[in-house]
Amino acid sequence: MSYYDVKSRAESWLNPEFDNETQSTVKDLLEKNQDELKESFYKDLEFGTGGMRGIMGVGTNRINKYTLGKNTQGLSNYLKRQFPDEDLKAVIAYDCRRNSKELAKVVADVFSANGIKVFLFSELRPTPELSFSVKHLDCHCGIVLTASHNPPEYNGYKVYWQDGGQLVPPQDQEIVEEIGSLKYSEVKFEANEDLIELVDTKVDEAFVEASVNNGSFDTSQEAKDNLKIVFTSLHGTAIKLNPKVLEAAGYKNVHIVQEQAEPDGNFPTVESPNPEEPEALKMALEKAKEIDADIVIGTDPDGDRLGVAVKNIQGELELLNGNQTMLVMTWFLLEQWKKQGKINGRQFVGSTIVSTPMLRVMTEDYGVEYKEGLTGFKWIAKMIKDNPGLDYIGGGEESFGFMVGDFVRDKDATTSTLLACEIAAQMKAKGISLYEKLLELYQEFGLYKEELISLVKKGIDGAEQIKNMMANLRDNPLTEIDGEKVVLVEDYASSKAFHYDLTEAKIETLDIPKSNVLIYYTENGTKVAARPSGTEPKIKFYISVNAPLDDTANYEEVKQQLSDKIAGIKSDLKLD
C-alpha cells in the first residue's frame, strides 16, 4: 500500500465519529511519524489462529475501541441474522493486560446497544472459564480480551460460539466479511445498561466443580499430602482459580510465588510471560529448589497454557516441553479410561499437525482413534462438534496447551494443572517421578525429540520476508534433509500431499482446511514443518526426529544423538 493510501486511511480517522484524543494522536502521526503511521494504518487487523491480536494504539492495524467496536458491531449483525427469533446473549471476560477491562466494557456496550443481553465478568478471569461460561450461561457467543503471552503492548479479541469453541470456517470468514462491510460510523457505542449484567462468583463455583470432576482420578489423600507443589500465574489470571481448584481437589501443599501473584499487564518480573521459556519460570524454580518441591507449574497471562517442571533422573527440576507434557497427560487419561473399561472404539484423542508424531503412535496402541488438525484448539473443538458419536478423551498441542474432556472447548490450564498434580502424586506414591514415567513411554514407543525455531520478522518488511520464505520452500522443495531422502511433502495451502517414496510420485488431497503450512517427512521419520504464526510476527519451524530407546539408562546418550541430528537439520536449513 502506498503512503498516499495510508495517509488517506489515517485522515478518515479525523472525522467526528472518532473522539478528540484519537484525532489528536492521528494528527501527530501524520505530522511527525510516518513510519508509525504506516504500521498503524497500512492494513486492517486480521483474525489469526488465536483470534485477533495486535499492538494497542490508534489505527486500523491496532487494538483500540474502534477496531473492537467494529468487530462487535459486525458480530452483532451476524448473530441477528443467524438467530432471528431468539433473545441473544453474550458473555465477556478479560485478562490482566493494560486496557482489558475498559475494552471489555466497550464490547459490552456495543452488544447491549444492539439489543443483546451481556454477561460481563466484573473482574479478570482465565480464558478456559470464558469457554465454559458460554455453555453454562446458555449464550450464543463469548468474547475474551487477551493477547495470551504476547509482549505488554499487545491486546486481543477472541470470539467463541455456542459450543464454547472458537470460531471456525465458514463462520469466521462470514463474520470477517460482515465486519469488513461496515463503516466506523455504523458502530453503536451507546450502551443499554439494563442489558449488561455483571458476573461475579456464580460461574466460578460451577467451573471449579467441573474442573475438579474432570481432573481428579482417585488419588489418595496421602499421595496428595505428600506432593509439594509450586505454582506461579506469571502476573496473570490463573491466580483467580488454579489455587481454588487444587484446594477443592484436596491439595494443601501448594506454594505460590507471591512476587508474581498480583495480576499486572506490565509483567514486571519476567521478560516474557510465556511458560514455554525456562526464564519465565526462574523464580518458581528457585522457590521449588529452596523447599524441595516435586513439581512446578506456571501459566500464561490468560490462564490457558501451562509449563510443567519436574525432577529429572539426577533429581534436578527440568522444564518439560509442550509435547512431553501432552504425552504424559494423554497416556494417563488413556490408562484411566482403559482401567475403567471405557475404551470401546468410540473414543478419540485430538492434536495438531505440528505436534509430536509420538502421540499418534501411543494413542493408536490403546485402540483409540487419533485425529489431527491445524494449529489452534479451535480445530480440536471442531473435532468434538463434528463427531457427536465419539467421546473426546483429551489432547493438546506442542505450544503448551492441553484440554481434559470436553466440558471446556479450548486449552485449559486450570484443569490441566490439577491433572499434572494427579499424575505426579500417583507416580510419587509408586516410587517413581513423572519424568521417569516419560522415559518409560519413550522406551515403549520410541524416543521422539522436537525443537521449535521461531524467527521474528516484524512490521511490513518482516511480513514480506515471511511470505518470500514460504514461497521459496514451495518453489524449490527440499529433496533431502540432513542426508535423508524426503518421501512426503504436505502443502496445506494447496491441500495436496506429494508422495515420493513410490515408484511414481503420487498426489493425494488433504482433508484439512487450507492453511499456510508446509511439512516435509523423510525416509527415517524426520519431520520438518514451516508455518507463519497466526498471532505474532514470526515464522516457525518445527523439527521432530526419533530413534528407538532400548533401555532408559541410555536415554541421555540417545537424546544427545537426536540433538546432534536436529543441529544438522538447522544447519542444512540455515536456521542456526
pLDDT the model gives residue 155: 96
In this structure, the answer to whether residues 248 and 360 fall within a common structural domain is: yes
- How is residue 25 annotated by DSSP? H
Residues 476 and 382 in one domain: no
- Order across the sheet with 51-55: list the strands: 47-48, 51-55, 154-160, 141-145, 89-94, 117-121, 196-199
- The reply to whether 408 falls in a domain is yes
Residue 120 lies in a domain: yes
Asked if the structure places residue 22 within a domain, the reply is: no
pLDDT (mean) for 179-208: 96
Among left, alpha and beta (phi > 0; psi -120 to 50; other), residue 400 is left
Q: Are residues 454 and 544 in the same domain?
A: yes
User: Is pLDDT at 48 greater than 90 in this prediction?
Assistant: no
Single pTM value for the model: 0.95
Q: Exposed, middle or buried by CB within 10 Å (0-12, 13-18, 19+), for 46?
A: exposed
Distance from C-alpha of 150 to C-alpha of 456, rounded to nearest angstrom: 13
Domain tally, the chain: 3
Are residues 230 and 213 located together in one domain of the fold? yes
Among candidate residues 399, 417, 445, the one where a domain is terminated = 445
Radius of gyration of the chain (CA): 24
**Quick check: 505 pLDDT over 80?**
no
* Sign of the C-alpha dihedral computed for residues 465, 466, 472 and 478 taken in this order: positive
Q: How many C-beta atoms lie closer than 10 Å to residue 72's C-beta?
A: 28
Report phi then psi at 426, rounded to 5. -70, -40
User: Which residue carries 446497544 as its cell?
Assistant: 113
Looking at residue 504, what is its pLDDT?
A: 67
Are 399 and 276 in contact by the 8 Å Cβ rule? The answer is: yes
Identify the pLDDT of residue 459: 84
Asked if 378 and 520 sit in the same domain, the reply is no
Where does residue 571 rank: exposed (0-12), middle (13-18), buried (19+ CB within 10 A)? exposed
pLDDT for 104-124, tens place per residue?
A: 999 999 999 999 999 999 999
Mean pLDDT of 398-423: 97
Cα 134 to Cα 128, 166, 431: the distances in Å are 10, 11, 42
Does any domain span residue 7? no
> Do residue 227 and residue 338 come from a single domain?
yes
Same domain, 324 and 408: yes
Q: Looking at residues 257-284, what average pLDDT do you find?
A: 96
Examine residue 547 and state whether it is found in any structural domain, yes or no.
yes
Question: Are the CB atoms for 415 and 249 separated by under 8 Å?
Answer: no
Cα 268 from Cα 423, distance rounded (Å): 32
- Averaged pLDDT, 238-254: 98
Read off the C-alpha cell for 244: 481454588
Mean pLDDT for the stretch of residues 180-189: 96
Do 92 and 121 contact (CB within 8 A), yes or no? Answer: yes
Band the pLDDT of 4: cuts 50, 70, 90: confident
Residue 257 belongs to a domain: yes
pLDDT exceeds 70 at position 502: no
The 3-state secondary structure of 302-356 reads CCCEEEEEEECCCCCEEECCHHHHHHHHHHHHHHHHHHCCCCCCCEEEEEECCCC
Domain of 468, CATH number, reads 3.30.310
Write down the pLDDT at residue 160: 97
Do 374 and 292 belong together in one domain?
yes
Same domain, 49 and 170: yes
Question: Of 176, 195, 214, which closes a domain?
Answer: 195
* Domain containing residue 266: CATH number: 3.40.120.10
Catalytic residues: 148
> Same structural domain for residues 276 and 385?
yes
Structure confidence at residue 2 (pLDDT): 82
Residue 576 has pLDDT above 80, yes or no: no
Query: Is 29 a domain residue?
Result: no
Three-class SS state of 567: helix
Looking at the domain assignment, is residue 314 inside a domain? yes
Domain residue limits at 84: 43-195
Residues 221 and 146 placed together within one structural domain of the fold = no
pLDDT in tens, 457-498: 988 888 899 999 999 999 988 999 999 999 999 999 999 999
Last residue of a domain, one of 137, 167, 195: 195
pLDDT of amino acid 536: 78
Domain identity same for 359 and 221:
yes
Q: Model confidence over 307-320: pLDDT tens digits?
A: 999 999 999 999 99
Is the Cβ–Cβ distance between 236 and 273 less than 8 Å? Answer: yes
Looking only at the bridges linking them, the beta strands covering 518-522 and 317-319 are: unpaired
8 Å CB contact between 56 and 154:
yes
CB atoms inside a 10 Å sphere around CB 446: 17
pLDDT at 503 over 70: no
Per the model's pLDDT, the better-predicted residue between 537 and 74 turns out to be: 74
